[in-house]
């Protein structure tokens, strides 16, 4: 799997194909997110590709804040249940650990067991409880907050 950076203007510079409407919408939505939260590499959004086929998107939701970085990932419907979301989460964790080894990595999910909660548990995340949705979505007033602590330093 390759992660293709979505640039500040919502364009990608690596991909040699025309984006379909869903992929283009994702890129525009991430450009709008950058306007709200800032654009600072590597804390950006990415298209996830396998063999030049876009299978989903993943992102850091803005630069680190208060010692933490939030990740999100989404597999396009026809590629669900194939392990791609887990791969995206792993790649984001790797980027975060390389760029900010002392950061806590957080994620938010619906407050119920889902495929995403299973992925987070497998990656070592701990459910930190139910909180008010930081995205202020009236359709989803609360979410579960998940945290992955930085690795313990050897003494």
Q: What is the pLDDT of residue 128?
A: 96
Average pLDDT over residues 119-129: 97
What is the DSSP code string of 44-104?
Answer: SEEEEEETTEEEEEEEE-SS-BTTEEEEEEEE-GGGTTSSHHHHHHHHHHHHHHHH-TT-E
Question: Any idea which architecture 2-148 has in CATH?
Answer: 3-Layer(aba) Sandwich (3.40)
- What are 39-61's pLDDT values in tens digits? 999 999 999 999 889 999 999 99
pTM: predicted TM-score of the whole model, two decimal places: 0.92
Give the residue extent of every domain in the chain.
Answer: 2-148
pLDDT at 14 exceeding the cut of 80: no
Q: What is the pLDDT of residue 18?
A: 80
């Amino acid at each position: 799997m390759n992660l293709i950076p979505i640039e500040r203007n919502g364009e990608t510079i690596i991909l040699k194909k025309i984006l379909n409407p869903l992929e283009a919408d994702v890129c525009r939505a991430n450009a709008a997110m950058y306007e709200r939260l800032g654009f600072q590499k590597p804390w950006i959004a990415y298209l996830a590709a396998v063999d030049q086929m876009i299978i989903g998107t993943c992102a850091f939701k803005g630069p680190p804040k208060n010692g933490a970085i939030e990740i999100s990932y989404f597999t396009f419907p026809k590629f669900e249940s194939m392990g791609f979301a887990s791969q995206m989460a792993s790649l984001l964790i790797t980027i975060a650990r390389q760029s900010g080894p002392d950061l806590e990595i957080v994620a938010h999910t619906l407050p119920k067991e889902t495929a995403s909660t299973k992925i987070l548990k497998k990656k070592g995340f701990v459910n930190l409880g139910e909180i008010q949705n930081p995205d202020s979505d009236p359709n989803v007033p609360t979410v579960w907050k998940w945290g992955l602590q930085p690795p313990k330093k050897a003494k």
